[in-house]
Structure formats: structure tokens, C-alpha cells
């Protein structure tokens, strides 16, 4: 008996149910706080380059990219480059597309790691402030006509900056594609539970989830995907996967 559709439906059902289970989310939160003292999110790499992502988020992003097969993926926040390499490698397997990586400061050693990598052929680096008009013009110039576009926002996590990015890059996302807002987990942490092993610490209210909630009140183009987000426990971006409708 071919049970593939039944298996897929069951997985979706459990994902949605788990997303409503606050006790599971709280347990996962405590696990992540315990692992944070070991700099857990910094321990992983993709094809030899540090990715600075949690495994659950890597898997979720992979599912989204393979399902939607975007022509262009825009990521704000390059860091050490592993996330760009990861997404570019998926596009390479799919057989099309490119990743545009934007950062206000792409350090020479990180640029070298990216530009010398076998996946560099599918990556375009743009140095500049992600919400600057000149940067946005350069990004638009890299998007072919009629291209399907996905966006990942993972740079400065202050509420004002993320909201500016959402407003600037949201219109670039095409129907059926996703916009991912990273590190929404911060919005679930009280001040005494801040993740300490980060390049900068953000407080509840001045973080990506706060910006996301404001943005969703301004637009009807995006919806929170209940299946992807439902299974995002042990994740830095719960509720951060938005589908353009």
C-alpha cells in the first residue's frame, strides 16, 4: 500500500498540534537555555563553513527551499558565511538560482571563505547597510525579471531595524515564497533568561518577534505557516516562517 500521502498528512497534523502545546515549547526553551552556556548555535558548520544556526532551523529552511524552489534567496546578515553556503548548495542540487548575501561589514577572512568555496558560483555578496536605499537598489539589480524570491532576515536584531527590513524586503518576496525572520526566540525570553553567548544581547520588546508582530498588523500579504512553525521547537526562529500569499 502506498501510504506516502497518509504519512505526509499525519506529519502535518502533529506539527500543528505540537505548535499549540505550550508545555513542549517551554521544555525546549529550557533545553536551549541550558545548551547556550556551551555556545550551542556556534558549534555547527555546513560544508566546512560555520553556519551559526540551530539544526531545527536548518531543516526547516531546507524544507521550504526544496518545496518552493526560489530563483533568488536574499539573506541579510552574512556572519561567517555558512548559511549562504547552505542555501547555495540546495540551489545547486535543484539546478538553478542564486543567493544574495548582504552585510554592513563582510570581514576579509569570511569573504575569503565564501568566495573560495565550490558554492561561490551561486552567491552574490553585497556590502552595505541592509536598509539603505543604495543597498536595496543593488539588490533589486541582481533579481532577474519574473524571478521567484525568498528572503531571510538575520542581521541586526533590534525591533526598529528588523521592522525596517520587513518593510523594505517584504515587497520583494513573490507569492508562494517565504520570508524568514530569524531569532524570534528572543521575544519569548524574560529579561532574566537572556541568551548570553551572543555577539550582542537583545531584550524582550526590542527584538525580531516584536517587529514581526507590528509588520503582520500592517500587511495581509504574509501568513505564519502553521506546519513549519508548529514543529520549530529547539529553534531560534519559532513563528518566524512567513508565507507570501
Sequence ranges of the domains in the chain: 4-244
Contact by Cβ (8 Å): 72, 98: yes
* pTM, two decimal places: 0.95
Give the model confidence (pLDDT) of 43-65 as tens digits: 999 999 999 999 999 999 999 99
Model confidence band, residue 160 (pLDDT cutoffs 50, 70, 90): very high
Give the model confidence (pLDDT) of 221-236 as tens digits: 999 999 999 999 999 9
At 74 the three-state DSSP class reads: strand
Cβ contacts of 207 within 8 Å, gap of 6 or more: 157, 158, 159, 162, 183, 184, 186, 187
Give the model confidence (pLDDT) of 81-109 as tens digits: 999 999 999 999 999 999 999 999 999 99
Beta bridge partners of 76: 102, 153
Cβ contacts of 201 within 8 Å, gap of 6 or more: 194, 195
Once rounded to an integer, what is the mean pLDDT over residues 112-134? 98
Domain 4-244 has CATH 3.40.50.150: yes
Model confidence band, residue 204 (pLDDT cutoffs 50, 70, 90): confident
Amino acid at each position: 500500500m502506498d501510504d506516502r500521502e497518509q504519512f505526509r498528512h499525519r506529519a502535518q497534523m502533529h506539527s500543528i498540534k505540537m505548535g499549540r502545546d505550550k508545555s513542549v515549547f517551554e521544555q525546549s526553551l529550557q533545553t536551549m537555555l541550558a545548551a547556550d552556556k556551551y555556545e550551542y548555535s556556534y558549534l555547527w558548520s555546513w560544508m566546512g563553513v560555520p553556519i551559526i544556526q540551530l539544526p531545527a532551523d536548518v531543516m526547516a529552511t531546507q524544507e521550504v527551499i526544496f518545496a518552493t524552489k526560489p530563483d533568488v534567496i536574499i539573506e541579510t546578515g552574512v556572519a561567517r558565511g555558512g548559511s549562504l553556503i547552505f542555501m547555495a548548495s540546495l540551489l545547486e542540487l535543484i539546478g538553478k538560482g542564486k543567493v544574495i548575501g548582504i552585510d554592513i561589514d563582510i570581514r576579509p577572512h569570511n569573504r575569503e571563505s565564501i568566495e573560495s568555496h565550490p558554492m561561490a558560483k551561486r552567491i552574490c555578496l553585497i556590502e552595505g547597510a541592509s536598509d539603505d536605499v543604495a543597498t536595496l537598489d543593488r539588490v533589486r539589480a541582481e533579481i532577474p525579471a519574473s524571478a521567484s524570491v525568498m528572503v531571510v532576515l538575520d542581521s541586526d536584531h533590534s525591533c526598529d531595524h528588523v521592522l525596517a527590513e520587513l518593510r523594505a524586503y517584504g515587497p520583494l518576496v513573490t507569492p508562494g515564497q517565504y520570508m524568514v525572520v530569524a531569532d524570534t526566540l528572543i521575544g519569548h525570553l524574560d529579561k532574566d533568561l537572556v541568551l548570553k553567548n551572543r555577539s550582542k544581547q537583545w531584550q524582550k520588546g526590542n527584538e525580531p518577534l516584536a517587529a514581526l508582530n507590528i509588520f503582520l498588523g500592517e500587511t495581509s500579504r504574509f501568513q505564519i505557516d502553521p506546519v513549519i512553525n508548529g514543529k520549530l521547537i529547539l529553534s531560534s526562529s519559532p513563528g518566524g516562517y512567513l508565507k507570501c500569499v
